[in-house]
Structure 1
Amino acid sequence: MAEVKVHGIFAGPFNKRVELALKLKGVEYEYIEEDRSNKSAELVKYNPIYKQVPVLVHNGKPICESLIILEYIDETWESAAPLLPNDPYQRSIARFCANLIDDKLMGAMYKVCYGKGEEKEKGLDEVSEVLKYLDNELQDKKFFGGDNIGFLDIVASYIALWFGAIQEAIGMELLTKQKFTKLSKWIDEFLCCGIVMEHLPTRESLVPLYIAQFEAAKASS
């Protein structure tokens, strides 16, 4: 039997992607909790460049970066619950949207949370732009992956859960049902899935963490 380990942190959106993909594939794994302030020798060994989670270790071989890990999981356990679309064009769209979330949306949210004046306003505009694009991309589908949770749904779990917790922590409502109807419906569908409910942390557990993080940043500025 293959040995599979996941190095992560509590409620980390990136390692939760990896764990959710493994759960969907029915792959058993060992979870290893890391301490951000005291990283294990194993983590540093497996990811010497970034020294960050997540790291998937499969039969002693480390794979780093969540998007790369998701594709590795899909290719390695290809017979169960395919994550990426079969069509090359649709695969390219899924990858583009995934990068849009990780690069532009998360970067924009950083500006919203920590920026001031024009920088914060620019962040708000960028957040709205990305959410609108993803809202349109859903079309009339239940999930980004169609009838079943796929690669982009897993990546967008950040929007379904962590994004909402950040909104609550900073006292702003950026993703509303009135403005982003399809995306809001997708969030409800996604969070109601049994495997998602069992695996992801609750919003209630995330909000205090973000409040503490933002207050600490404000105190040190």
Structure 2
Amino acid sequence: MAEVKVFGAWGSPFTHRVELALKLKGVEYEFIEEDVRNKSPQLLQYNPVYKKIPVLLHNGKPIAESLVILEYIDDTWEHGPSIMPKNPYDRAMARFWAKFLDEKGVSTLWKACWIPGEEHVKDKEEAQEFLQLLDNELKGKKFFGGDSFTLADIAGNFIAFWFGIIIEVVGVELMNNDKFPNLCAWIDEFNSSFKEHLPDRDQLTEVIRGRFLEASAAKS
């Protein structure tokens, strides 16, 4: 029986955060693919509150919510790069931006790409404002934490990798180097630094394209 198990979905950026952290720490784990539309009894048992992925199972004890799991991984396995800074202020800032990216990022960018109709213009404007905030924060920085990546950078994986594929599939112009040079530089740094641990881009593109076509058919 594996000491560490991850219950998740291959195409989920939240699951990927957990896998990325474990790989950076050199922790071996067993991945258990979940059907998010037909959740397994095990997943519901291990995460009875939110009933969603990802869940980390370590020595039979479950931990839910990706940001909580990332801190747990950093506290449990000291070898490998640190995810949380040592300085209390820097730790607070890492948590702040990770929470902001988690609560605001995915929903804001998702709506700007997928929600049609009159609200679309408003959603795009909100997405642009969100991206501008990130661009301002990243000015003069390699990562959110400065020269080293932190919890906030891993929490931004959706923007760094998934979002570029989504706007390509949907055909929406939301982000370019002229408008957001600091953010685009961070995206390049993220994808370069974690290249060997990122999902296969072609495969993920097909998954996202399938979801887009499915969503489009449901609205027609």
Same fold (TM over 0.5): yes
Counting matched residue pairs gives: 219
Partner residue, 2:216:
218
After superposing the two structures, state which structure 1 stretch, 59-68 or 143-152, moved more: 143-152
- Name the SS of the counterpart of 1:192 in structure 2: helix
The CA deviation at 1:142 is: 1.8
Identity between Structure 1 and Structure 2 (%): 53
Partner residue, 1:127:
127
Letter in 2 for 1:206: L
After superposing the two structures, state which structure 1 stretch, 154-163 or 41-50, moved more: 41-50
- Name the SS of the counterpart of 1:6 in structure 2: strand
Letter in 2 for 1:24: L
Partner residue, 1:137:
137
- Name the SS of the counterpart of 1:52 in structure 2: coil
Letter in 2 for 1:112: A
The CA deviation at 1:206 is: 2.0
- Name the SS of the counterpart of 1:7 in structure 2: strand
Partner residue, 1:84:
84
Unaligned segments of structure 1, at least 5 residues: none
Deviations 1:121-147, CA, capped at 9 Å, x for gaps = 222122112211112222322222333
Unaligned segments of structure 2, at least 5 residues: none
Structure 1 residues 140-159: aligned runs within 5 Å: 140-159=140-159
Distance 1:126 1:96, change over 3 A: farther
Q: Tell me, in whole angstroms, the C-alpha distance in 2 between the residues paired with 1:105 and 1:123.
A: 12
Q: Is the 8 A contact 1:166 1:210 kept in 2?
A: yes
- Name the SS of the counterpart of 1:44 in structure 2: helix
Q: CA RMSD in A?
A: 2.0
Partner residue, 1:15:
15
TM-score using structure 2 length? 0.91
The CA deviation at 1:202 is: 2.9
Q: Is the 8 A contact 1:105 1:126 kept in 2?
A: no
Q: Is the 8 A contact 1:5 1:56 kept in 2?
A: yes
The CA deviation at 1:79 is: 4.9
Matched, 1:197 2:205: no
- Name the SS of the counterpart of 2:173 in structure 1: coil
Letter in 2 for 1:107: S
TM-score using structure 1 length? 0.90
- Name the SS of the counterpart of 2:5 in structure 1: strand
Q: Post-superposition, which runs of at least 4 consecutive aligned residues in structure 1 deviate over 6 A?
A: none
Letter in 1 for 2:183: L
